[in-house]
Amino acid sequence: MRYFLTFAYNGTPFHGWQRQPNASSVQQTLEEALSTLLRREIALTAAGRTDTGVHAQKMVAHFEADLSAEKEANLVHLLNRYLDENIAIHDLLRVQPDAHARFDATARTYEYHLGYSKQPFKQGLVYGVPTALDIDKMNAAAQILLEYQDFEAFAKKHSDVKTFLCDISYARWESKEQGAIFTITANRFLRNMVRAIVGTLLEVGRGKISVEEMHQIIQSKERGEAGYSVPACGLYLTEIHYPERIYTP
């Protein structure tokens, strides 16, 4: 039987999702927990990879296992007892035998969290920006993203990808009491893309880049024309969308 596991994690203590030699990863931590509890080696395939320090409010990964009804019903509880406070398991879902956590995802949503003042209780969870920002201009520039599909200007250099095309369906800033949150949804994202977009939009909010210059930056397809990449600490994967057909009753 194939299952989707949905879970959240604080990315601060991990070197990203993917297994790495001599470094702690979310994938290794979860695979070891599942393998211990199920008494067989379990391999997880996730919806995507998050970099070092990036958080996930919702991540999805699939795995194969022959579970008894009792084990299936109790596995979420057992995992949450076994794992420390940095990972929380949300759900275990039966899916079709060919369902794929990465390739069947139709869209992904990220948030980037800013803080306008020192917030000691959110250290490692928000990016501190002490200067005033023009949210209206940042939103105007964000809407320009929806006019394009090629985002090479925001991709990490020398990325091993076949295409830089992404379909962004939503991009907007929302002011909060002590900061702001940027939400962006697309069918796929390039490596470092969201952090580069946020850094560029922050430059718009500071008046260093005009709203209209966003067109030139995107059309240039040059990473050097865009703004800086913001730190990983404020980035959260918040939602992954799938077609209903992949789930089984």
CA–CA separation, 54 vs 201, rounded Å? Answer: 19
Is 84 labeled as catalytic in the residue annotation? no
Residues contacting 221, CB < 8 A, separation 6+: 150, 152, 153, 164
- Tell me which of 51, 66, 136, 160 is the catalytic residue: 51
Long-range contacts of 147-152 (CB under 8 A, 24+ apart): 148/218, 148/219, 150/218, 150/221, 151/190, 151/193, 151/197, 151/218, 152/190, 152/221, 152/222, 152/223
Quote the distance between the C-alpha of residue 1 and its chain's center. Answer: 27
Structure tokens at 112: 């980037």
Backbone angles phi, psi at 111, to 5 degrees: -120, 145
Tokens of 229: 């990449």
For residues 115, 171, 193, 138, the Cα torsion angle rounded to the nearest 10 degrees is -60
- For residue 81, the surrounding DSSP H or E stretch is helix 69-82
Sequence-distant (≥ 6) Cβ neighbours of residue 239 within 8 angstroms: 57, 58, 107, 108, 109, 185
Could you tell me which of 39, 37, 95 has the C-alpha nearest to residue 63?
95
Catalytic machinery residues: 51
